[in-house]
Amino acid sequence: MSQLFISFDSLDEAPPVVREADAYGHILSPEQARVRDAGAGHMVVIAGAGTGKTELLTQRVLKLLLEGDGQGQPAELEQVVALTFTNKAAAEMRTRVYRALVRRLRATNNSAERARLQQLRARFGEDNRIWTFDSLGSRLLQLFPENSPLPRGARLPTAGEERALVRALGRSFWAWADTFDEDGAEELFTFLDAFERRENALALIRDTARRPKGELKFLATLPEFGDFASLLLDVLDARAGRLWRAHSLQIEAFAFADLGPHMKARLLNPEVAILPVKGGGFLTKTGLSAPFARELPTSVSDAARAALTRRLLDWQEAQTEIHERRDTLGWCDENGEGDPMWEREWRSRRVVSSLARYALWWQRAENEWKRERALADFSDVTRAALTLLDSPEVTATLRSQIAWLLVDEFQDTNRDQWQIVQGLRRHARAEGALGNTLVVGDPKQAIYDFRGGDLGVFEAGRLALEEEGAYKENLSISRRSAPPVVTWTNRAFAAIFPHESSARESFEAPHGPLDAAPEAWATQRAPGDKPGVYLMRPFAWRDASFQPPAKPNIEALRQEAANSLSTWLLELFADSQILGSEEADVQQLRQPNFSAISAHIARAEPAVALLFADNNVKGLFEEVLRSRGVPFVSLKGRGFYSSDAVRWSVLLWRALLDSDDESAWVGLLRSPFGGQSDTALLERHIARQPELTDSNDETEAPTEFAPSDELDAAMWRAAHERLGRWRALAGVAPVSLVMERALEESEVAFFEAGQHDAPVRRENWRKLLDMVRAREKESEGGLRALVDFFEAHQGDDREPMAPLPSGASVQLMTVHASKGLGFPACVLAQLDASKRDGSDKTLLWGELGGEPMAAFSFNREREEETVGREKPRAPLAYELLKRAASERAQAEWKRLLYVACTRAQSHLILLETDANAQSSSWYALIRPALGGVEEMLPSGHAAPIQQPQLPTQEIPSLQNGIEPQHFTVQTTHELRFDTLFGPPSSTLKDAQKRAWLERHLSALGQNTTSIRQDIPFGARGALFNQNADWIIGAWEWLAPLPNNQFLLLATGEDEPTAKTRAQAMRTIAEEAGLAIAQTHALWPNEANSPTSTQI
């Protein structure tokens, strides 16, 4: 059964308790049962976190297959289409349905039912239609090839073909531009003037061509200036109105219940609010007037006063903007000239119009180029599927096949996917056989805006179905989380999410409280265990020897938090050893409140998840946990095709195919297949570029070069010998055999055994070898075919990593990677994180007044052009789009926090990294709900905590028929350079740093074309008296000087950090054998311009 994938139950969202079962599976709640047993008609199900939506969908599909909807015969497999978004989710649903069929088959004695179940089981693998949206598009194209707008046999382009496409269309664009008339040429010059380089303009055209054709056609049409200005002013008016409505709702809230009628009337009258204070108004430029603030009742809290002031100031700013823009608009003529602000506004709109026209040309040219070569990417497949759904022939066929449509995770739907759903519904309704559409989702868990997910689509789809008479059901009983966790989560997010009845935007999720299931937890309490929400303050876990830094930065605070968390985890591991002994004594436990978690660890089960907003902070915690000896597994939060196993294998295959493929060769040498040191690679890089040396000799071939270090030279020769053997073997043997030999002979097994996520890595290698063997059976397993296949899928995160092996008790992952999972204990380890909305982009997209809109900032002038003068304001359209994007990002940021909090089953731990975190941080959002939360404290035992002995990691050979080999691995402790010596300057942009270095080199009369940035190194920890084997980092900037010497540049946010980093980098460089002639430190001054000194 080619479509059936078995997943691990330990990672399922099933509740942490054993539940009774009926004929269809687990006993459902009354709300779930109503949905499962519903008859014909549309249904909209709002399924809160942990309420069992996957089990519900499974039982709904099974009931349709066995009984139908009560109005006819049971459904056939082909009649039920269930759609979701990822391969992992589709495989999970297929697995559950198939297992339910098997369980029902084994349990029934009814001969007719057994015959039906046996038929379904035999046909399930080929005929089930539990698909992703992408696979639905592909299936439609396969089913209707005659109607497909794509060429026959179309395939995904390889990375090489994508690069060739960009080069070919770039040449064609400039050739097309040469045919412009005088007006067209002037328009092009105006467009190019908005960019520093022509390459930047071309890259933006290429990216813009990926946007919907209809949107580009709309923006390509330049409106009249007056109409455009009126649209912007209407948007400003609407925003001011929304702000005032929000203010009015706040005044009616409970916090202002004690306001007298007169004061409430003043606060609700906008005409009074705009008056000067002396004229009876109550609002100044900085907040409430002092007399009015004193008149407010003492019952109005400081938080309520601050919120009131903030909303009124936002409204005041909007009113000021409206009046200013209306006044200056009267000075402008029909071409927008007469006022600098409006001139800038109109220039931005003209540039957008030009960009849209050029992007439409690029779309047409790209489609033609791909059509000639029978290529198509995922977006092409989606557009082709939408075209198919408008075909009469396709319509007639689908009418007779589809009877029920189910959509999972509906909150993550984008506009194209909703159009596909609408197309399927349209065909099914045409014969009157279906208004049978079931959508399931939770707007509070919509966290995939970066993938195109649009909560506005969810709202539009929900309303469309409800207008057609859809039955609506809310699933609110959490079968995942313990009652104390549910209660706290409800309390916290009641103040974070807007109320369902309040004014809110389409991208805001309303608050919907969950209900706990106390009966499910009544018998699950371990001795001493206390489910609930806990706060960990790192300073309470410091030992006597800890010396806090004088001025702690966020990096140091996170380092201390990670150390405190490590101490707690080690106590849990120690408790697990007690619970795992024959004479377990609960009185000896160091953390009795978490005895259930320790019991999970004792059984080698998933127990604790550390959740992060991004992978960078996760990496810091990984380093600390590794240095403290805490066993853990790190989930990458990315797809299988982005794993090291795939990346290194593609490099190997490319090197075997073409010995002159320089990028593949360098990447292979850097990987464990090559095992070369950073110093050896840097020496080779210098040797291959004559401008970096005094020699006039021709560049040496790779095989003629040898590193200066004796050990490096030996490793270099060994790598060449291995590659030669593998290339010879590839000429006579399948690639799978070459891979087995390469894994056996290289350093991959040793390297990966020392990694914190070794079990996941090992399973990824197994998965990759299985995929290679499967493609070999289909005669698609040659080197070129494999390179094309895997390069075409790199960056596709829909294919999950190999299933996580059991025994990973402590797991680190991002919140996005944790979606759909549940863990006994969850630690929110990055509460200091604040949302970055990406508002520094040159071009922003969105909607204004219900119409597509884009705007340029024009704030990308070179640094030397803006020194000493204030930068001009960005266009109003840009500011409005920026504000809208920021509001959308903040709304999703809150939903991401909600997803993190609802992963916990019994214990939710809030790690207080920075008590003074920014107002937009997660910690600031939950701070009002911290009252009454119990604080975690270290063990009161005086005896030192014994670190658990890490089990020997077994690395079985991946070659079939060979007995597993056993290695005892000593984990290498690593520290990041930036952790020890501070991070580089983020205030100074890379362009400023490079410009400073280029000017300095020019003053020395040196070439500026050979500057190198971020060259990685590994230094011995003993070099800086550190208790670590290695210090990992990168030389920030290196530039060659005569006589094989170098100039080194390091930056920091202040002078001491920059100097410290520069001195440390010089020490490491000299230790590596580099001759450093000059070392410079660079940092920003008060004007954010670079200031330097030579070390």
The DSSP code sequence of 119-166 is HHHHHHHHH-EEEEHHHHHHHHHHH-GGG-SSPTT-BPPPHHHHHHHH
Residue 552: strand, helix, or coil:
coil
Tokens at residue 495, please? 């103040």
Note the pLDDT of residue 672.
86
Indicate the CATH number of 9-153+377-479 among 3.40.50.300, 3.40.50.620, 3.20.20.70, 1.10.150.530: 3.40.50.300
What is the dotted CATH code of the domain comprising 640-793? 1.10.486.10
The DSSP code sequence of 655-702 is HHH-TT-HHHHHHHHHSTTT---HHHHHHHHHHT-GGGSS--SPPPPG
Note the pLDDT of residue 855.
92
Note the pLDDT of residue 698.
40
Angle between helices 378-388 and 133-143 (to 10 degrees): 60
Domain boundaries, the chain: 9-153+377-479, 159-224+335-372, 225-329, 520-635+808-935, 640-793, 974-1094
Q: Mind listing the pLDDT tens digit for each residue in 387-421?
A: 888 888 887 777 777 888 999 999 998 888 888 88
- What is the identity of the amino acid at 92? E
Task: Report the alpha-carbon angle 1043-1049-1051, nearest 5.
Answer: 175
Look up residue 452 and give its DSSP letter: T
What is the dotted CATH code of the domain comprising 520-635+808-935? 3.40.50
Residue 624 near residue 559 (C-beta atoms within 8 A): yes
* C-beta atoms surrounding 483 within 10 Å: 17
Note the pLDDT of residue 691.
44
Note the pLDDT of residue 903.
95
Q: Are strands 1045-1051 and 1030-1041 parallel, antiparallel or unpaired?
A: antiparallel
Tokens at residue 79, please? 């009649």
What is the rounded distance in angstroms from the CA atom of residue 96 to the CA atom of residue 104? 12
CA distance readout (Å), 801 to 88, 486, 813, 950: 9, 31, 13, 25
What is the rounded distance in angstroms from the CA atom of residue 594 to the CA atom of residue 1007? 63
The DSSP code sequence of 203-232 is HHHHHHTTS-HHHHHHHHS---HHHHHHHH
Note the pLDDT of residue 916.
72
Tokens at residue 215, please? 């949107």
Note the pLDDT of residue 171.
93
Domains 520-635+808-935 and 640-793 share a fold: no
Q: Mind listing the pLDDT tens digit for each residue in 425-448?
A: 775 544 444 468 999 999 999 998
Q: Mind listing the pLDDT tens digit for each residue in 994-1006?
A: 889 988 888 888 8
What is the rounded distance in angstroms from the CA atom of residue 227 to the CA atom of residue 222? 10
Note the pLDDT of residue 381.
84
* pLDDT less than 70: residues of the chain: 1-23, 253-257, 427-435, 501-503, 518-526, 543-552, 582-584, 636-639, 678, 685, 688-704, 754-757, 794-807, 836-840, 859-872, 940-974, 1027-1029
Note the pLDDT of residue 102.
86
Note the pLDDT of residue 234.
92
Tokens at residue 174, please? 């400039």
The DSSP code sequence of 285-345 is SSSB-HHHHHHS-TTS-HHHHHHHHHHHHHHHHHHHHHHHHHHHHTT--TTSTTSHHHHHH
Q: Mind listing the pLDDT tens digit for each residue in 915-938?
A: 777 777 899 899 888 888 998 888
What burial letters (b/e) apply to 321-355, b meaning 16+ CB within 10 Å? beeebeeebeebeeebeebebbebbbbbbbbbbbb
pTM, 2 dp: 0.74
Note the pLDDT of residue 807.
55
